[in-house]
Amino acid sequence: MRKALIYGLVFAMYGNVLGVADAAYIIKLKNGNEYITTRYWQEGRQVFFDTYDGVFGIERTFVTKIEKTDQIVRLARR
């Protein structure tokens, strides 16, 4: 049991070190552009999502669809 816990912790640490997130979303815009992000949320008429340098927000009217995807997202190093 103790070995399993240690292996689990080591695996979790390597996942954080590699900067890989397993859940991602594709935000599709009316102009054809797409953004892939690990997290998004809505505040009023804006859709916000994480980007490499911080948070980006766009008007909800510019978004055609937000889909969950299995694509791997590599997070930026700081």
Distances (CA, A) of 53 to 5, 13, 23, 30, 44: 34, 23, 19, 23, 23
In sign, the C-alpha dihedral spanning 7, 22, 41, 37 is positive
pLDDT tens figures, 39-63: 999 999 999 999 877 899 999 999 9
pLDDT the model gives residue 51: 84
Cα-Cα end-to-end distance for the chain: 35
Confirm whether pTM is higher than 0.75: no
pLDDT tens figures, 1-21: 555 545 454 455 444 444 555
pLDDT the model gives residue 58: 94
The highest-level CATH class for domain 21-74 is mainly beta
The token pair at 40 is 């998004």
71 vs 31, more confident? 31
